[in-house]
Structure 1
Amino acid sequence: MRKVLLGILLAGVLAGLGCGWAAAKKQPAQSKVTVVGSTALQPLVEAAAEKYQRDHARTSIIVQGGGSGTGLSQVQDGAVNVGSSDIFADQQDGIEHTKLQDHIVAVAGIAPIVNPRLGIDNLTLDQLHQIFTGKVTNWRQLGGPNLPITVINRASGSGTRVAFEQTVLRPGEHAVNAQEQDSNGTVKEIVANTRGAISYISFAYVNSRVQPVKLAGVAPTAKNVMTNRWPLWSYEHLYTKRRPDAATKRFIRFMQTRRVQDSLIKDANYISIHDMKVARTPDGQISERR
């Protein structure tokens, strides 16, 4: 009788262990998605990642800056899951864009900014061109105070710089030799503390510490970007390998949903991809969006 009872107890224990193993097998594995690149896009991806992880506790999303060039090269090398970029991959030297998959998740407006104490809030596109090519070097030449112009440019790997120069400079031209910074936040702080400074940052970084500059009376607003009335803007891309893993695809699809585009994207001062009335090619050609 004792042997029978022991056999029953042992069978029960083994059955319980079997159920535990089966339950463990059913648990989804922990997934990690690493996003590296554009500092203009970084705050938006961070906000989206935080929101996404609330409902997907087993997915860890790590977001870092470094610039568009860094993001593109790292995703191409397989070092990260996603390379975030303000430019098309085929605009970046050393990138084999045919091996990557483009996922456009937002549009970023780009605003020229000056120090609020400068007293200038409006320029023409030609004046902006003269400033960034070094043809104008004192604010007095543009109706401002007798003060040297301090140009703060973005680093060469910056997608924001590529988008800005594609509109402001002419083919074959180069920007004036100037101080370079690799993040929107650093640029903003320098301009906020330098009376004669001028630079450009993503709409998402504009606040009362700097003065956004109109172009021929047109204000840098989302509404004006949608129709290209404000010409300084860039697509925000998440680049992956041609066949990204499931966790990466789910997160990118989440960012492209109408629900996220109509809330999180706009709250972060980006423009929804669904609201754009125009489209832009890598070489800067504009057409009506179908």
Structure 2
Amino acid sequence: MKILRKLFILSLLFFLTSNIYPATVVRGRVTVKGSDTMVILVQLLAEEYMTRYRGKIIQVTGGGTGIGVAGLINKVTDIANASRPLTSEERERIKKAWGKEPKEVKIALDGITIYVHPENPIKEISLEQLKSIYTGKVKSWKDFGWEDRPIIVYTRENNSGTYVFFKEHVLDNEDYTNRAQSLPGTGAVVDAVSKERYSIGYGGVAYSKGVKILPVKTDNKSKAYLPTEANIRKGLYPISRALYMYTCNYDDPDVKSFIDWILTPDGQKIVSKVGYFPLK
């Protein structure tokens, strides 16, 4: 917990300073911006990398996948962390800015996890049921055989890659209900769900502390699965995804060295330590 608290404070400081001073790519320092889902993971990776390779400087900030992608488009970051693949429009804008295609690197596996309060008696949930909650068609826990109380719906902000991925793969690109409360990070969603008995939220598997995780099934006839490493590798968990880094500076030795190290067994051990799943 001390490590997570320290990293949260560092992340907040980086976020504040990055909004006060104009950011530019500076050689000799690798800048990484983007996904809040990935920020703790990449901060720990950077910390270990800088410990092993003295003199290397890796600056990591969050803000959401959209912030990282915008940073790459505006050429103010070396690496964009993304919890979803780039869109074709984003790829074109990056290519226009840099004169070349961005390099895509998968660094970890994840399953978008459904959080409810520990006192919630629901045992599992289907994609269709999730869609009905998040589009506002179902508003009460009574429809799930529980108390007749309003479902408090928590979501991420729209610059979040997790928000976009959930909208595409669970809501089938329908709009979120206007009752959904947007929160600035996965940690905030987990914190809110852990305190609100009648709430539901979603986010990365590594953040699921102090909440109940619901197994998810594709439809009402399917078996429900938890977002475990085995279930994600076998393709059984319905809301699985990769976590990405994008860069147009892979030919820079410092950028290449950091990304390549993340893919080594030592780097992938940290992926597991944080709570995500290694690529192999």
Q: Is the CA contact 1:213–1:220 (under 8 Å) kept in the aligned structure 2?
A: no
1:90-239 matches, within 5 Å, as: 90=87, 96-98=93-95, 99-170=101-172, 172-177=173-178, 178-207=180-209, 209-216=210-217, 217-239=224-246
Aligned to 1:3: none
Measure the CA separation in 2 of the matches of 1:265 and 1:93.
27
Give the drift of 1:233: 2.3
Structure 2: tracts of 5 or more residues without a match: 1-26, 96-100, 218-223
Partner deviation per Cα, 1:25-80 (whole Å, 9 max, x = no partner): xxxxx921111110111111111111111121111111111000000110221111
CA shift in 2, pair 1:246/1:94, >3 Å = closer
Cα distance between partner residues in 2 of 1:273 and 1:79: 28
- CA separation of 1:61 and 1:88: change in aligned 2, threshold 3 A: same
Secondary structure, counterpart of 2:66 in structure 1: helix
1:266 to 272, 276, 279: 272
Contact 1:89–1:97 (Cα < 8 Å) also in 2 = no
The residue type equivalent to 1:33 in the other structure is V
Give me the whole-angstrom Cα distance separating, in 2, the residues matched to 1:148 and 1:244. 53
Q: Say if 2:115 and 2:202, in contact at 8 Å, map to a contact too.
A: yes
CA distance in 1, matches of 2:168, 2:83: 12
Q: CA deviation at 1:136?
A: 0.6
d(CA) in 1 for partners of 2:238, 2:125: 14
SS in 2 for 1:106: strand
SS in 2 for 1:79: coil
- Select between 84-93 and 149-158 the one with higher mean Cα deviation: 84-93
TM-score after normalising by structure 1: 0.78
Structure 1 unmatched runs, 5+: 1-29, 275-290
Letter in 1 for 2:148: N
Tell me the CA shift for residue 149 of structure 1: 0.4
Q: Matched residue of 1:173: which SS?
A: coil
- Post-superposition shift, 1:234? 2.1
Kept in 2, the 8 Å contact 1:72–1:95? The answer is: no
Cα drift, residue 154 of structure 1: 1.0
Instruction: Determine the structure 2 residue equivalent to 1:87.
Output: 84
Normalising by structure 2, what TM-score?
0.81
Question: Which is worse superposed, 92-101 or 177-186?
Answer: 92-101
CA distance in 2, matches of 1:218, 1:243: 37
Q: CA RMSD in A?
A: 1.8
Tell me the CA shift for residue 173 of structure 1: 1.6
Alignment pair present for 1:65 and 2:65? no
Contact 1:121 1:212 (8 Å CA) reproduced: no
Query: Which residue identity lines up with residue 267 of structure 2 in the other structure?
Result: V
Distance across 2 between alignment mates of 1:108 and 1:197: 22
Question: In structure 2, what is the Cα distance between the partners aligned to 1:70 and 1:45?
Answer: 15
Instruction: State the identity as a percent.
Output: 29
Q: Which residue does 1:49 correspond to in 2? A: 46
Task: State the secondary structure of the residue aligned to 1:147.
Answer: coil
Aligned residue pairs: how many? 242
1:181-206 Cα distance to aligned partner (Å, 9 max, x none): 12001111111111111110101101
Using a 3 Å threshold, how does the CA distance of structure 1 residues 36 and 145 change in structure 2: closer, same or farther?
A: same
The runs of at least 4 aligned residues of structure 1 exceeding 6 Å deviation read none
Alignment of 1:236-247 (within 5 A): 236-241=243-248, 243-247=250-254
1:250-272 Cα shifts (integer Å, max 9, x gaps): 000000113422x2111211122
Aligned-residue offset at 1:121: 3.4
Shift of 1:93: 5.5
Q: Give 1:151 deviation, angstroms.
A: 0.7
String of CA shifts for 1:196-223, please: whole Å, max 9, x gaps.
111101011011x111111143112111
Q: Which has the larger radius of gyration?
A: 1
1-structure distance, mates of 2:226, 2:57 = 39
- 8 Å contact kept, 2:69–2:90: no
Partners in 2 of 1:47 and 1:251 — Cα distance?
Answer: 12
Cα offsets for 1:214-261 (capped at 9, x unmatched): 114311211111122102122111111155421011000000113422
C-alpha distance in 2 between matches for 1:202 and 1:243: 27
